[in-house]
Structure 1
Amino acid sequence: MTTLPPENLLRHASSPYLQQHAGNPVHWRPWGEAALAEARSAGKPILLSVGYAACHWCHVMAHESFEDAETAALMNALYVNIKLDREERPDIDALYMNALHMLGEQGGWPLTMFLTPEAEPFWGGTYFPPEPRWGRPSFRQVLSGVAEAFRQDGAKVAQNVAALKGGLAKMAAATPGPLPTAAQLSQVALGLVRATDAEEGGLAGAPKFPNPPIFRFLWQMGFRLQQPACAEVTHLLLRKMSQGGIYDHLGGGYARYSTDAIWLAPHFEKMLYDNAQILELLALAHAAAPDPLYADRAAQTVDWLAREMLAEDGAFAATEDADTEGEEGRFYVWSKPEIDALLPPEDAALFARVYDVTEEGNWEHKTILNRRGHPAPLSPAEEARLDACRATLFAARARRVAPGRDDKVLADWNGLMIAALARAAGVFGRPDWLVLAERAFAAILRHHAAPDGRLHHAWRAGRVTAPGLLEDQAAMARAALALHEATGGAAYLAQAIAWAEATHRHFAAPEGGHFTSADDAGDILVRGLTAADNATPAGNGIQAEVEARLFHLTGEPRWREAAERSIGAFAGHQALAAMPGLLAAADLLTEGAAVVVAGPETHPATQALLATALTHPDPALAVLRASGALPATHPAHGKGMLDGSPAAYVCRHGTCALPVTDPASLAGLLDRPT
């Protein structure tokens, strides 16, 4: 019988989340064939616990249950216990989270799933308390009850397994249809606008998540539909979040979500992917309507990124924790006496008035700094005093015990940040941000590249820790294209094409679209196939954007056909509103423009035309230089300077407008409705 040692094996793992549990008395195993083989050999059910390093409720359940000797003894006796870092294996996490939803349960982390020895789900939940509470059984009761059901009621378990496997297989089936029409895009966009909170921004209700894929789509639709509301709700989201407690007013960066409906009280973890997408939205919004608030928040967020999130070799770490010294938010919150002791009385009074500092506090008798009550700029002199106050408090906060950082490097999240930095560098006039993006790109290329042309997903401490997924190939190809457009570097375009081709080889689904896991993934029950966005954009939406952008950059019909196939695989789905990234890609493919600039790269007029194109707020533009011969398939093939002057051509629907030589004329062409 195959058995692993009767001990906790997580000490061998590189994931910071798994290492957080390495001292538990539970005989944890990392996800992998060895653990799955042990379950099959022993005939024991699997307890699969999924979380991530910055997850507050994961920490709570760990302290209450996984560190408890009595609970651990029960787990060890009844189950093969597997711990999974959802950030390392989002494909595994998504599979079992979907199974939980099919059981009628609300999802979240920690995810607690019970599987057969063949890794088939049959029951699950999320957080379970150590004692019966809030109408929920204790975790020990759950452990005993599920194990008893597995032993005594095999028919019921088999019924659940069959139903869940059938549902998972159905979810992994394509729903083909014709490309979305302009009417469909309009219907979805205006429906999403109606779902927003007209007072506080974001989607209505609590908790409040930024939902960047939704607002990125609405922003793009604002240009296509000539509907001001699409842009207005995006501006409202950014302004409310940027003055709320979800934003770190001392150190920069946005927390994952707000627990309330007013952006005041977050769970305090900061995720690379949220800040990447918000940075891109800030850049787009600032390009359309320059606002000092957007410029400040972008700069402060990139400062946080460079200060706190740089991992080995220039790539970016994954997350910062919510908890320090066992308390959520302890690093971030303040009391009025603390602030009064650090600031001169007049400055303390001004700071308290603007940043909502009171004796009683605004959250659990503490204060989360925010400017919800005073969002408008004060006088320059008062803002300068507030700047000095924040610097003093930031220095004092730096002496506290800092939140933990998960420093594993994820290719897909880095891809999102690299692309955001490339856009923001141009919009905010920060070439140093472009350098930051290029360094991160080079680091991913060095450490994540596989010999067959694919990218691995996760890397830490000198070794790859998780296989590559669709999102990794797509997000990094998108990043490569962003750098190609920003710099003109031909190597970036070549690399994007290579990754897109590798994606087709290893992830393509028979009816179109791409599976989340590769064709050689041997440890997943069902390969996922979805275009639904969550907090991060779906891999299929990103891949369709890459293909559409490659079509505009190269003019090659194969990329148009690839994009049509990627989009068409899901276009028959009834819930298109859940796929804003895919819909944005469809709009880019059919209505987007290629802006072709011809002229010496160093010529001031060439640079001015490029800057106009690269800083335009419509994201459905692809910018390329005609310094070399464009392919014969491109509508701008053979076009060049005009009477010896650098010129720009705007190409839509297979034809190019007359050339223009000054930035104002180019901006006019780009602003014109399609």
Structure 2
Amino acid sequence: MRLETSPYLLQHKDNPVHWMAWGDEAFARAKAEDKPIILSVGYAACHWCHVMARESFEDAETAQLMNGHFVAIKVDREERPDVDRLYMQALHSLGEQGGWPLTMFLTPDGYPFWGGTYFPKETLYGRPSFRHVLKELKRIWRDERDKVTTNASAIFSALGREPAKPQGEATLSLDFARDAAEAFLRAIDFDHGGLKGAPKFPQVPVFSFLWTMAERSGDQRLAEAVVTTLIHICQGGIYDHLGGGFALYSVDPIWLVPHFEKMLYDNAQLVALLARVAAKTQNALFHVRVEESIAFVLREMRTPIGAFAASYDADSEGEEGKFYVWSKAEITDLLPAREAQLFAEVYDVSRQGNWEGHNILNRLKTLDLLDDDRERRLAFSRQILFTQRAKRIPPGYDDKVLADWNGLMISGLADAALLLAKPDWADMARTAFAAIRSHHWQDGRLHHSWRNGRLRYDATAEGYAHLITAALALAAITPGGDHLSFARTLTQAMIARLWDEDKGAFAFATKEARLIIRNVQGHDDATPNANAVMLRNLARLHHLTGAADYLAKAEAIHRNFAADALSNPFGYATLLDAFTVLADPVQIVMSGKGGDPFADDRFRRLIAATGPNAIIQWIEDPSALPADHPARQKSAGAASRAYLCRGQVCAAPAETVAEVDEALALLGLTDSRS
């Protein structure tokens, strides 16, 4: 463990448990000693991972059981998402809910035969104690090996089983995407936002799809579902009202009590969605939250190389949320009486507290922004509390630089810069992208994790997909840059290393990962699915370059997952969203020298109408467009003009904002479109 780079693994280096890293050495030892494997998967910011570590992995009696009868492997799910995904899928096949820590029991060759998540030190709430589990599985391994074999075989079969496909070739349609969005509304909590029930996760892929369909159709119910959700997330306890940034999820149905860890991928996705909705609605709250959250990421998550760290822990000083919560007395002591009274009224601060005797700052009782004077007073108070909070012992910080999550953050920054006309955000996105390109792209392949000068593991499909998205997002706001060229380079490497010709889609992990099975999936998890993301990327690349292979692969992904999306649209929100780009592409071509995406009024008008799903390119002369590009037929020379196309139809080249408005109206892209 001491030689590992992962902060999570290093947290366990002094445990009495003889942890080994995932790899050949651990499996060879298990085979040589004929012992089952305990696979424990977690991450540095995980509260329940810390609880199980304190209760069991630091306990001498438990460690003796583990060391004597098992080979113990510890995995950081952020460093090895391929391992985590495979064995989490195995847990689901047992009918168990997922979560971390993931605790799986494997045969010496890696086949899972039983598992769970968190196990308490003593039997509690109907869950067996971890020591009881260890003793029972030790007995079964010794006395009933046939049960182990039977279980492992059944789980392996379930892992490789593909859902039944309907007869004939399934295809998606824009009509189905509209119907799916309507169906999603039945699951929306219109009182508090988000999906009905608890816990509540931001579910950004779902709400991004709903916003796409709201923009396309003008359906106010879809827009209301997204806006209501974002207002409550932005004003709830899941948002850090002093420092900016969003926590992982809310444990209750009203977004009050968060699980306090802050993950880069959540903040990246929420910044991107908030920027989209802010640009369209001009909602002042959303503008403020985008700016505050980007400020948080740049201030507290940017590493010395210019890219972004993975996460902040939920715990500090051994207590969940201790860094973030307040007593009323603390606030009264720090603020002038008049300001303390206003702050307490607005941020739900009371003597008894709103969570375990403490106060989680939130504005759920005052959802709307107040008048300018009171908002200025609140900002003054927040700064005082933020300065005081900085003196507390901070939560743990995981400074791994991950290719996939950085891709999400870079594209989120680039989209926010594009939509809200913030060139400084664009500069920061370019800096982070250059850092990932410099550190993670080596020897013609993308690597997953970098920390302290050490590069670890092949990138997964999500690493490639999200970084390609980032490259295309930067190409849209960087006239004359080489981001499109590098997007093509990444795409070719991804195809070479991850494309499964038989399945017609990308595998999650490379063959070098040497897992027991290499699944191909299209459904979203906490982040958008790589195949769905690549459906959009490949469609864009086809229109940007004219290369037919990109379109062929995009259509193959569509064919492979269409039946799954038809039967379970909720799990395939990103695929449905991406399909709209494949089926109804909108393209913006800006011609001429010296283009400026932040100062060209024509371009700003086009972006306001079409959003970031438009396929954007900057060229000096339209004659350089692919031969079959529809704008090439409208070419009016190398002068500065804006070309707008929908499908294979283009409006006349526009030299003025008025002509841009005519083009938008002609192509049905003004307020809503079918």
- Please tell me whether residue 649 in structure 1 is matched to residue 640 in structure 2: no
Q: Equivalent of 2:131, from 140, 152, 160?
A: 140
Distance in 2 between the 1:288 and 1:206 partners? 29
Paired with 1:153 and 1:662, the residues of 2 have a C-alpha distance of: 79
The separation in 1 between residues aligned to 2:436 and 2:164, in whole angstroms, is: 32
> 1:114 and 1:172, CA in 2 relative to 1: closer, same or farther beyond 3 A?
farther
Identity of aligned residues (%): 47
Hey, what does 2:483 align to over in structure 1?
Answer: 492
Alignment of 1:463-474 (within 5 A): 463-474=454-465
What CA distance in whole angstroms lies between the structure 1 residues aligned with 2:179 and 2:212? 14
- 2:43 aligned with 1:33, yes or no? no
d(CA) in 1 for partners of 2:10 and 2:517? 28
Cα offsets for 1:455-495 (capped at 9, x unmatched): 10111110112221111111101100000011124410011
1:637 to 628, 632, 638: 632
- Secondary structure of 1:108's counterpart equals coil
Aligned to 2:39: 48
Corresponding residue for 1:233? 225
CA distance in 1, matches of 2:117, 2:235: 32
Structure 1 counterpart of 2:86, one-letter code: L
Where structure 1 has 5 or more consecutive residues not aligned to the other structure, the ranges are 1-9
Q: 1:361 aligns with which of 345, 353, 369?
A: 353
Give the SS at the match of 1:313.
coil
Q: Tell me if the contact between 1:613 and 1:623 (Cα under 8 Å) persists in the aligned partners.
A: no
In structure 2, the CA distance between the partners of 1:336 and 1:635, relative to structure 1 (3 Å rule), is same
Mapped to 2, the partners of 1:455 and 1:384 lie a distance apart of 46
Q: Distance in 2 between matches of 1:666 and 1:322?
A: 49
CA apart distance, 1:193: 1.8
Q: Which residue of 1 aligns with 2:338?
A: 346
Give the CA deviation at 1:645.
5.9
Change beyond 3 A, Cα 1:12–1:645: closer
List aligned pairs for 1:158-197, cutoff 5 A: 158-171=149-162, 177-197=169-189
Aligned counterparts of 1:125 and 1:102: Cα–Cα separation in 2 = 11
Q: Secondary structure at the match of 1:648?
A: strand
Task: Report SS of the residue matched to 2:348.
Answer: coil
Would the aligned equivalents of 1:111 and 1:125 in 2 still touch at CA under 8 Å? yes
- The aligned counterpart of 1:243 is 235
Please say if residues 50 and 83 of structure 1, whose CA atoms lie closer than 8 Å, have aligned partners that are also in contact. Answer: yes
In the TM superposition, what are the counterparts of 1:595-606 in structure 2 within 5 Å?
Answer: 595-602=588-595
Q: Counterparts in 2 of 1:606-645, with a 5 A limit?
A: 607-616=600-609, 618-628=611-621, 629-637=624-632, 639-641=634-636
Task: Measure, in 1, the Cα distance between the counterparts of 2:141 and 2:164.
Answer: 30
CA shift, 1:635, in A, is 1.6
Does the 8 Å contact 1:630/1:638 carry over to 2?
Answer: no
Within 5 Å, which residues of 2 pair with 1:451-462? 451=443, 453-462=444-453
- Distance, in Å, in 1 between the alignment partners of 2:237 and 2:651 is 47
Q: What is residue 548 of structure 1 aligned with on the other side?
A: 539
Q: Secondary structure at the match of 2:305?
A: helix
Supply the distance in 2 between the matched residues of 1:564 and 1:471 (Cα, whole angstroms).
Answer: 19
Secondary structure of 1:624 counterpart: strand
Counterpart for residue 151 of structure 1: 142
Q: How does 1:16-415 map to 2 (within 5 A)?
A: 16-171=7-162, 177-415=169-407
Q: How many Å separate the matches in 1 of 2:207 and 2:184?
A: 9
Paired residue secondary structure (2:365): coil
Per the TM alignment, residue 624 of structure 1 is displaced from its structure 2 partner at its CA by 1.1
The answer for the alignment partner of 2:673 in structure 1 is: 673
CA 1:182–1:220: 2 relative to 1, 3 Å: same
Distance 1:664 1:348, change over 3 A: farther
Q: Which amino acid aligns with 2:673?
A: P
Provide Cα deviations, 1:363-417, integer angstroms capped at 9, x if missing partner: 0000000001112222211111101000000000000001111000000100001
Distance apart, 1:340 and its partner CA:
0.3
SS in 2 for 1:248: coil
Matched position secondary structure for 2:512: coil
Q: How does 1:508-547 map to 2 (within 5 A)?
A: 508-509=499-500, 510-522=502-514, 524-547=515-538
Distance of 2:596 and 2:23 partners within structure 1: 56
Deviation at 1:646, TM superposition (A): 3.0
* CA RMSD of superposed structures (Å): 1.8
Deviation of 1:170 after TM superposition, in Å, equals 1.3
What SS class does the counterpart of residue 486 from structure 1 fall into?
coil
CA pair 410-615 structure 1, distance change in 2 beyond 3 A: farther
CA distance in 1, matches of 2:453, 2:364: 44
1:12 aligns with 2:7: no
Which of 558, 565, 590 is the equivalent residue of 2:583? Answer: 590
Match of 1:4 in 2: none
User: CA–CA distance in 2 between the matches of 1:177 and 1:316?
Assistant: 42
Are the aligned partners of 1:594 and 1:650 in contact in 2 as well (CA < 8 Å)? yes
Taking the aligned partners of 1:605 and 1:274, their CA distance within structure 2 comes to: 27
Moved over 6 A (4+): 172-176, 603-606
Distance 1:90 1:374 in 2: 40
Question: 2:365 & 2:658 partners in 1: Cα distance?
Answer: 39
Q: Is 1:448–2:443 an aligned residue pair?
A: no
Q: 1:618 to 1:430 in 2, by over 3 A?
A: closer
More deviation in 356-365 or 178-187? 178-187
Structure 1 residues 617 and 246, CA gap change in structure 2 (3 angstroms): farther
Equivalenced residue count is 662
Distance (whole Å) between structure 2 residues aligned to residue 645 and residue 303 of structure 1 = 38
Task: Kindly indicate whether residue 428 of structure 2 is the aligned counterpart of residue 436 of structure 1.
Answer: yes
**1:247–1:255 contact (8 Å) kept in structure 2:** yes
Please give the alpha-carbon distance, in whole angstroms, between the structure 1 residues aligned to 2:552 and 2:339.
Answer: 62
Contact in 1 for aligned 2:42/2:76 (Cα 8 Å): yes
CA shift for structure 1 position 109? 0.2
Contact 1:48/1:114, CA 8 A, preserved across alignment: yes
> In the superposition, relative to structure 1, how do residues 665 and 178 fare at CA in structure 2: closer, same or farther (>3 Å)?
farther
Provide the C-alpha distance between the structure 1 equivalents of 2:356 and 2:482, rounded to a whole number of angstroms: 53
Deviations 1:571-627 (A, max 9, x none): 122223211111111111111211112233248998222223344453431111231
What TM-score comes out, normalization by structure 1 length? 0.95
Partner letter of residue 631 of structure 1?
A: P
Displacement after TM superposition at 1:153 (Å)? 1.2
TM-score normalized with structure 2 length? 0.95
Paired with 2:563 and 2:371, the residues of 1 have a C-alpha distance of: 54
Matched, 1:578 2:568: no
Give per-residue Cα distances to partners, 1:546-581, cap 9 Å, x unaligned. 101112322333222111112211112222321111
Q: What is the deviation of 1:268?
A: 0.4
Query: Conserved in 1, the CA contact under 8 Å of 2:415 and 2:612?
Result: no
Task: Kindly provide the amino acid, as one letter, of the partner of residue 280 in structure 1.
Answer: A
| 3-state DSSP of counterpart to 2:72 | strand
Say if 1:177 and 1:570, in contact at 8 Å, map to a contact too: no
